[in-house]
Structure 1
Amino acid sequence: MAGHGGRQMKVIALDFETANEQRSSPCSIGLAWIEDGQVARVEHHWIRPPGNRFARFNIAFHGIGPQDVEDADEWPDVLARLRPELEGALVLAHNASFDISVIRRSCEHYDVPAPGFDYLCTVQVARGVWPDLPSHKLNVVCGHLGVDFKHHDAAGDAYACGQVALAAMSLNSLGHVRDLPSHLGMSLGRLDHDGYTPSRAAAGPRRRYG
């Protein structure tokens, strides 16, 4: 794959679940590595949020509670394990603005540098490829594609996100997931320790900070 680091750039779909209303409260992360046109492996990591505080709404949404993560590492230690994978990768997320904000706010909370990577929002991809779907939520898109997964489970959602990108790539006869943005008139987002650039459906994103 052309671009940063040549054709072997890693592509990783990820998904977070959060413990409460704060974006800096991740309690679960799922990752799915895309290699050779398929999801090659999937990982899940528990994360203990600050104070191990959970809101009822979030527990009802994803079924995770404080007892599930009381012995888990907090974000800095989880990120330390994942940073070598994320640095320089192309990261996919369904509704990427949420997942990227979880990383940003969590890094700010713990005063650790954010990993540096390009990212692509698969909601934007789905809107471009399947514009006539009644919704572009992950379960709706995957229902259309016949992808079976466990929704609101971080590992399941990461897997499904990867499958959406692969299906869009295949349908458009593209050679790599990274070819999707230019084909669809989108631009990649970017996250690093200096700030972030949103993933957009049109070119020319403006750099943001904070």
Structure 2
Amino acid sequence: MTIIAIDFETANERRDSACAVGLAWIEGDAVIRRESHLMRPPELRFSPGNIRVHGIRPADVRHLPAFPEVMAPYLDDLAEGLVLAHNASFDLGVLRVTLAAYGLPVPAFAHLCTLQVARRVFPNPAGCGLSKVADRLGIRFAHHDAGEDAYACAEIALAAVRAQAAQDVPHLRRMLGLAQVRTGVRDAA
């Protein structure tokens, strides 16, 4: 099973305005691959608040490929895999809505929210946001860079595996009693 952490940055308040994606693959007890790409959203409307968060501007993506071209090499890895995201409702929402906006099927995959994992394994009154958990665990990364955020998400999952003495991330999910949520459709062929 492919285990892959994903993170998106958006141009504005719309979930279908992805302007960056980051991915980090886990194999065994390590992150073995990382990818990060800027992409052109369907419209070049960037909200000032979003720019303040991630620093990506319309000029940075104007001549870049759009979501379908950027994501095409990774959809097979997502299909039938376990996808991790910190605050999965946001990132997986971006993935689903943007695929639908381009008329692309949502691949079938299970997902696990590392925010939920962190709340159970690393609870803290200060909160369990990505940067707070990463700081507490000594994970160094540049927050709001999609590739860096995906890497931090993957490392949080691996830290939780170690802290719980789980065999791997799927075993951790079962140990914590977190439901295996499936998304998308499977090919009938």
TM range (shorter): over 0.9
Q: Does 1:158 align with 2:150?
A: yes
The answer as to whether partners of 1:48 and 1:72 remain within 8 angstroms in 2 is yes
The answer as to whether partners of 1:117 and 1:190 remain within 8 angstroms in 2 is yes
Alignment-derived partner of residue 27 in structure 1: 19
TM-score, scaled to structure 2: 0.94
- Moved runs in structure 1, 4+ residues, more than 6 A? none
Alignment-derived partner of residue 36 in structure 2: 44
Q: Does 1:106 align with 2:105?
A: no
Q: 1: distance between equivalents of 2:50 and 2:57?
A: 9
Q: Secondary structure at the match of 2:139?
A: coil
The answer as to whether partners of 2:17 and 2:43 remain within 8 angstroms in 1 is no
Q: 2: distance between equivalents of 1:90 and 1:122?
A: 12
Alignment-derived partner of residue 172 in structure 2: 180
Q: 2: distance between equivalents of 1:160 and 1:101?
A: 19
Alignment-derived partner of residue 90 in structure 1: 82
Q: CA deviation at 1:189?
A: 1.9
Q: Does 1:55 align with 2:43?
A: no
Q: 2: distance between equivalents of 1:96 and 1:133?
A: 21
The answer as to whether partners of 2:51 and 2:57 remain within 8 angstroms in 1 is yes
Alignment root-mean-square deviation, CA: 1.2
Q: CA deviation at 1:34?
A: 0.6
Comparing 62-71 and 77-86, the one that deviates more: 77-86
Q: CA deviation at 1:133?
A: 4.4
Alignment-derived partner of residue 15 in structure 1: 7
CA displacement 1:2-61 (0-9 Å, x = unmatched): xxxxxxx11101100000110000000000011120111110111110122211111111
AA aligned opposite 2:170:
R
AA aligned opposite 1:157:
D
2:111 aligned to which of 119, 122, 127: 119
Q: Secondary structure at the match of 1:30?
A: strand
- Bigger relative contact order, structure 1 or 2 (CA pairs below 8 A, ≥6 apart): 2
Q: Does 1:191 align with 2:183?
A: yes
The answer as to whether partners of 1:133 and 1:141 remain within 8 angstroms in 2 is no
Alignment-derived partner of residue 132 in structure 1: 124
Q: 2: distance between equivalents of 1:111 and 1:60?
A: 30
Q: Secondary structure at the match of 1:51?
A: coil
Paired-residue identity, %? 47
Q: CA deviation at 1:164?
A: 0.4
Q: CA deviation at 1:187?
A: 0.7
Structure 1: which 5+ residue stretches go unaligned?
1-8, 195-210
Q: 1: distance between equivalents of 2:120 and 2:150?
A: 20
Q: Secondary structure at the match of 2:43?
A: helix
